[in-house]
Amino acid sequence: MPIQWFPGHMHVTKKAIAERMTEIDVVIELLDARLPGSSANPMLHALTGHKPRLKVLNKQDLADPVVTARWLAHYNAQPETRAIALDASERAPAQKLVAACHALAPNRGGMAKPMRVLICGVPNVGKSTLINTLKGERKAKTGDEAGITKLEQRITLADDFYLWDTPGMLWPRIIVDKSGYNLAASGAVGRNAYDEEEVALELLDYLRQHYAPLLEARFKLSEPIAQMRDEEVLEAIGRKRGALLGKGRVNMQKAAEIVMNEFRAAILGRVSLETPEEFASWLAEGERKDAERQAKKDARKSRRKGSVSPDSPEVSE
C-alpha cells in the first residue's frame, strides 16, 4: 500500500519557505545519504525558484561510500548546485557547508551583506543535529523520531551568517512507491502512516539483492539468503532473535522492528537503498502511473459535466 504522510504543520512549513525565499541567498537541502533521491523534496524546486542549492548528503557514515560517490557526481553535474557528504555530528566536516555556501553566493558576506541561508529537508534527516554541531551548543531539539522540529527558527552562526531552520517537510503525495518505503525505513515518516512488517519486507528485498553478505553475517541464518523469499528471511530473523509467540510462532511485527532498527543504526553495515539510475527509473514509472491516474480523474470529471446538458429541460415542482 502506498505510504503517505503530510501532517498539518507541514502546510505551515511550505508557506513559511515560500515567504522566506525573497531574502534567502542559498538553500541547503539536507538529504539522507542512504536514499538521496527519495529524501529530496520535489516541491522545493517550485518553492525556491532559481536560488543556488547546496545538497548535503547527511549520514554518509551509514551509507555505501561507492554509491554516495555516484550521487555526489550526479548532483554536482547540475547547474546552480553543489553537493557534499558529511556526518552531521562531526564538527570539522560540517564546517564544509559554510565554505560551500560562500562559493555558491560569493557576493554575500560581511556585515553589509550577511549570508542568509535556509536549511530544509525531510523529517529525521539530521537537520537539528547539524545545526547544533555548527553552533557548538544544543540550539535545536533532536530525536530519533519524525517531526521533532515544529517551528521555523533563525540561528546566527556568525555575525554575517544567518541560518533559518525549518521543520522537516515531506510532500502532499508520494508518487514513487519505493520512495515511500525507503522513507519509512529511514524513519522520515510517522509510525502511524505505515505497516512495519510491509516496510521491513521491502527493505529486506533490496538488501537481499544488493547486500546479502551483510545480512548473512549479521543474522547468521542457516540457509543462503539467495534461496529464501523475503517472508522466509524475516521469519528466520525473528526466530533467530527470539521474537516468538505461543507454540513457536514468530512475532513478525517484532522481527520487522529488529530489521528496521538495525538498518537505521547501521548495525547491518554501510548500505544505500538506491542509486541515481535506480531512482530515475522509479521516478519515471511513478510519473507514468500518476499521469494515468490524472487522466482517469479528468475523464470522470468530464463525463460528470457532460451528463448535465445545458439544453436539458428544467424540472418544475
Q: What are the two backbone dihedrals, phi and then psi, of residue 22, each rounded to the nearest 5 degrees?
A: -65, -25
Average pLDDT, the chain: 85
pLDDT band at 310 (very low <50, low <70, confident <90, very high): low
| Average pLDDT, integer, range 276-299 | 92
pLDDT at residue 256 tops 50: yes
Helix (H) or strand (E) run with residue 14 in it: helix 8-20
More confident residue, 186 or 50: 186
Tens digit of pLDDT for each residue in 25-82? Answer: 999 999 999 999 999 988 887 788 788 999 999 999 999 999 999 999 999 999 889 9
Sheet containing strand 115-121, edge to edge, reads: 81-86, 53-58, 26-32, 115-121, 161-165, 153-158
pLDDT for res 88: 77
Tens digit of pLDDT for each residue in 151-185? Answer: 568 888 888 999 988 887 777 788 899 999 999 99
More confident residue, 166 or 111: 111
Question: For the chain, how big is the Rg over CA atoms in Å?
Answer: 23
Helix (H) or strand (E) run with residue 205 in it: helix 196-210
**Measuring CA to CA, which residue among 160, 164, 175 is closest to residue 131?**
164
| Average pLDDT, integer, range 98-113 | 91
pLDDT band at 210 (very low <50, low <70, confident <90, very high): very high
The grid coordinates of residue 219 equal 543474522
**Measuring CA to CA, which residue among 119, 97, 99 is closest to residue 51?**
119
| Average pLDDT, integer, range 244-248 | 88
Helices (H), 91-195: 91-94, 96-104, 127-135, 177-186
pLDDT for res 236: 94
Helices (H), 56-151: 65-76, 91-94, 96-104, 127-135
pLDDT for res 11: 64
pLDDT at residue 250 tops 90: yes
pLDDT at residue 98 tops 90: no
| Average pLDDT, integer, range 96-118 | 91
CATH class in words for 9-165: alpha beta
pLDDT for res 179: 93
**Measuring CA to CA, which residue among 94, 84, 82, 179 is closest to residue 128?**
94
* Residue 124 and residue 59 in contact, taking contact as beta carbons nearer than 8 Å: no
| Average pLDDT, integer, range 101-123 | 91
Q: Three-class SS of residue 268?
A: coil
| Average pLDDT, integer, range 103-122 | 92
pLDDT for res 78: 92
pLDDT band at 316 (very low <50, low <70, confident <90, very high): very low
The grid coordinates of residue 248 equal 513457536
Query: Which CATH number applies to 195-264?
Result: 1.10.1580.10
pLDDT for res 107: 93
User: Domain limits of the chain?
Assistant: 9-165, 195-264
Bridge partners of residue 154, in order along the sequence: 164
More confident residue, 136 or 260: 260
| Average pLDDT, integer, range 232-238 | 95
| Average pLDDT, integer, range 10-37 | 86
